[in-house]
Structure 1
Amino acid sequence: MSATGGTKAIVAALLANVGIAVTKFIAFLLSGSSSMLAESVHSVADSGNQALLLLGGKRAKRAATPEHPFGYGRERYIYAFIVSIVLFSIGGLFALYEAYHKWSHEGGIESWHWLPVVVLVAAILMESFSFRTAIKESNLVRGKQSWVNFVRRAKAPELPVVLLEDLGALVGLVFALFGVSMTLITGNGRWDAAGTAMIGILLVVIAIVLAIETKSLLLGEGAEQQDLVAIERAITAGPEVERIIHMKTLYLGPEELMVAAKIGVPSWESAPELARGINAVEARIRVAVPIARVIYLEPDIYSVAAAEAGTGAAADTAVPQSQDASGEAAGRPGV
């Protein structure tokens, strides 16, 4: 997923939410609508979330250090997880509290009665522009996936987060418009409270979905099935490898995949020949899956007896440690 596309969607959402937050808060001060207050806080939380995503993207670009030899790519996942916490606590729980308070102290909209409606309609238009940008950027990388699968399987968190936030913002605005309109029609402030409660429940649900999906990325996810197949084909496409004994993959960041595999190789006459063979395999992997940037290949002599025993050990004729390519070729990311 392109980091540029994610940044464009984040900036569009940030600009929209800052403007919307200001207008909503002014409308709350003038009208006293609890839905407007809940929506104001929601927009402030969303603006903070977009700032966090931008910060996470910037910090993830730092170079690797001895303390963090694989770099900081997964920091983008951490900030996306923080976003879910902010959305849950500041957005969702505050709206639920405000709904309870408004329900307990029933009161209609005090003044500037139709101002909240005008502000909400304008906010829907601005939020629609942000949502349209997020959809457009997502379609560039979504392929043929459904939207549900895109949100669940995307390795770069920014676009799914912005999509869910913008969707939640639009639905929340509709809820607020419903509550405010019914309060104006009936004069009963509990409709306003009901709209606020609906906003709170919506934000809590979205926050939980974001937390679950981001947690999976934080724990570490492997390559998608199509990439696994491509990597396996690349490894076994030449004469250098007889079979894959076992293989594991792990996303070090949204755009960096690690591949580690023990491969069964034929008996090579010299270590330089073995090293050249492994380099050729690594080159094929990078062509097949460009994000496979960190590759560790351990050469071994396949043993049927060992495989049946489940030990994964090599046969007695395996290349000795001092002569294999584990330090020269297999024990480093590749050249």
Structure 2
Amino acid sequence: MSGQAKDRKTRVTVLVALGANLFIAAAKAVAGLVAGSPALLSEAAHSVADSMNEVFLLAALRRSRRPADQRHPFGYGKERYFWSLLAAVGIFVMGGCFSFVQGIDALHSHHRESTVGYVAGLAVLGVSLAAEGGSLLRALHQVRGQRGGIGSDPALRTVVAEDSTAVLGVLLALAGMVLHMVTGREVWEATASLSIGLLLVYVAYRLGKDARDQLIGEAVDPELRDSIRALLDHQPEIDRVADLLTMRLGLDSTLVAARIDLRPGLDSEDVELVCERIKASVAHTWPTADQVFLDITDAPPNTRR
């Protein structure tokens, strides 16, 4: 499947998640205000944060596919990681911090919801669970059909993380409201809000760490790097691979830079043909390795095969 086709599927997945989050954010906010439930309000903030993050991811999908230009000769593939980092910050600030505030405030409150408030809150959480679960199932379905799995696309990885966290958050809010209703103690909802905050902070940290590593410049997986080195080692014109550097430039773009020692006796025309053939072989075997650079030297006598 081409990169554009995969992006279209991911865009639909993000739009489904955005629609679900906008709907349930409004429902949670209204029910939370009516019921005075800190757990529901924490979940509303969580859904608002997720909605903002989906907007970031849509921007990432559109901007990361721009062609290379003079200022950005390697293209804009790393835009995905930048917008994914903003999404992680959004989860932390809008979701995690608000949940902590709601939880701490609930610990000093002695408000008891009415029966109508409980019923409305539990009904909204039930609808939210169905909506979030449906969005999660679609994202997981796309992951199963995507070569490279969940780690290959930061936008898809973020949607799966958000939806998984949302499902867990709804279950925590349900547990907090039910225990509050049974015991009459608001500490249960406060605990649920604080737990949701901790969950969001952890998810934000993991997503932010992954995006940071990619923005700094992360090498390809060790298995792929070893495969590239093995291909170079098996070329008859290469005596030794002195060094091999790799870096992911985007979802479908990888830089490969190798310093290789050629066997002696090759003239300049032969060297040029050999380099072109080796580059073509690497690109054919790994289509995402679209930036291949070879630094050619003559093998010292003591290292020749």
Query: How far apart are the structure 2 equivalents of 1:24 and 1:124?
Result: 11
3-state DSSP of counterpart to 1:87: helix
Q: Is the 8 A contact 1:258 1:292 kept in 2?
A: yes
Q: Distance in 2 between matches of 1:15 and 1:222?
A: 35
Provide the residue aligned with 2:248 in structure 1: 251
1:77 to 53, 78, 81: 81
> How far apart are 1:304 and its partner, in Å?
5.4
Q: Is structure 2 residue 126 aligned with structure 1 residue 106?
A: no
Alpha-carbon RMSD: 2.0
Residue matched to 1:279: 276
Which residue in the other structure is 1:218 paired with? Answer: 215
Show the counterpart of 2:32: 28
2:123 to 107, 118, 140: 118
Aligned AA (1:242): D
Whichever residue aligns with residue 221 of structure 1, its letter is: E
Partner of 1:180: 177
**Partner in structure 1 of residue 295 of structure 2:** 298
Q: Determine if contact 1:21/1:41 at 8 Å carries over to the other structure.
A: yes
Normalised by the length of structure 2, the TM-score is 0.91
Normalized per residue, which structure has more helix?
2
Secondary structure of 1:115's match?
A: helix
Residues 1-335 of structure 1: pairs in structure 2 closer than 5 A: 2-110=6-114, 111-141=116-146, 154-303=151-300
Query: In the alignment, is the contact (CA less than 8 A) between 1:234 and 1:288 conserved in 2?
Result: no
Shift in Å, 1:37: 0.9
5+ residue gaps, structure 2, are none
CA deviation string 1:80-129 (max 9, x = no partner): 11111111111001101011112112211144331110110111111111
User: Using the alignment, how far apart are the partners of 2:301 and 2:85 within structure 1?
Assistant: 45
Runs (5+) with no aligned partner, structure 1: 144-149, 308-313, 315-335
1:106 and 1:190 in contact (8 A); partners too: no
Name the aligned partner's letter for residue 126 of structure 1: A
On the 8 A contact 1:231/1:288 being kept in 2, the answer is no
The answer (yes or no) to whether the contact 1:109–1:189 under 8 Å persists in 2 is no
After superposition, the C-alpha distances for 1:287-311 in whole angstroms (9 at most, x for unaligned) are 1111000011111111256x7xxxx
Q: Deviations over 1:22-62 (max 9, x none)?
A: 21122123222111111111101001101101101211112
Q: Distance in 1 between matches of 2:270 and 2:11?
A: 45
Question: How far is 1:217 from its partner?
Answer: 1.3
1:18: Cα distance to partner?
Answer: 1.2
Q: CA deviation at 1:185?
A: 1.9
Rounded Cα–Cα distance in structure 1 between residues aligned with 2:253 and 2:214: 13
Within 2, Cα distance between the matches of 1:23 and 1:304? 75
State the secondary structure of the residue aligned to 1:113. helix
Question: Does the Cα contact within 8 Å between 1:259 and 1:294 map onto a contact in 2?
Answer: yes
**Aligned pairs, number:** 299
Calculate the TM-score normalised by the size of structure 1: 0.84
Q: What residue is the counterpart of 1:330 in the other structure?
A: none
What SS class does the counterpart of residue 294 from structure 2 fall into? strand
Q: Distance in 1 between matches of 2:219 and 2:122?
A: 47
2:208 alignment partner AA: A
One-letter amino acid of the counterpart of residue 243, structure 2: H
Q: Which amino acid aligns with 1:140?
A: G
SS at match of 1:242: strand
Provide runs of 4+ in structure 1 moved above 4 Å: none
